[in-house]
Chain A
Amino acid sequence: EIAMTQSPVTLSVSPGESATLSCRASQAISNKLAWYQQKPGQAPRLLIYGASTRATGVPARFSGSGSETEFTLTISSLQSDDFAVYFCQQYNHWPPWTFGQGTKVEIK
Chain B
Amino acid sequence: VQVVQSGGGLVQPGGSLRLSCAGTGFTFSDYAMSWVRQAPGRGLEWISFISSRGTTYYADSVKGRFIVSRDNVKNSVFLQMNNLRVEDTATYFCARSYSNSWLILDNWGQGTLVPVSS
- A pairs with B: yes
Q: Select which of B49, B60, B108 is within 8 A of A43 by beta carbon.
A: B108
Chain A 56-108 residues near chain B, CB threshold 8 A: 56, 87, 89, 91, 94-102
User: By DSSP majority rule, is chain A's interface helix, strand, loop, or mixed?
Assistant: loop
Query: What's the Cα separation between A98 and B46 when bound, in Å?
Result: 7
Q: Say yes or no: A44-B108 contact (C-beta < 8 A), given A95-B49, A99-B46, A100-B43.
A: yes
In the assembled complex, how far is the CB of residue A105 from the closest CB belonging to chain B, in whole angstroms?
15
Q: Contact residue range for chain A?
A: 20 to 34
Is there contact, CB below 8 Å, between A91 and B43? no
Instruction: Count CB-based A-B contacts (< 8 Å).
Output: 61
Which residue of A is nearest B56, CB measured?
Answer: A95
Count of chain B residues with a beta carbon within 8 Å of a chain A beta carbon: 24
- Chain B residues with CB under 8 Å of A36's CB are 44, 105
Binds A, one of B66-74, B78-86, B96-104: B96-104
Q: Select which of B58, B95, B104, B109 is within 8 A of A91 by beta carbon.
A: B104
Interface centre among B45, B57, B58, B102 (most CB of A within 10 A): B102
Q: Select which of B36, B93, B105 is within 8 A of A34 by beta carbon.
A: B105
- Chain A residues with CB under 8 Å of B103's CB are 89, 91, 94, 97
Is there contact, CB below 8 Å, between A49 and B104? yes
**Chain B residues close to A by CB (< 8 Å):** 34, 36, 43-46, 49, 57-60, 93, 95, 98, 102-111
**Chain A residues close to B by CB (< 8 Å):** 32, 34, 36, 38, 43-46, 49, 55-56, 87, 89, 91, 94-102
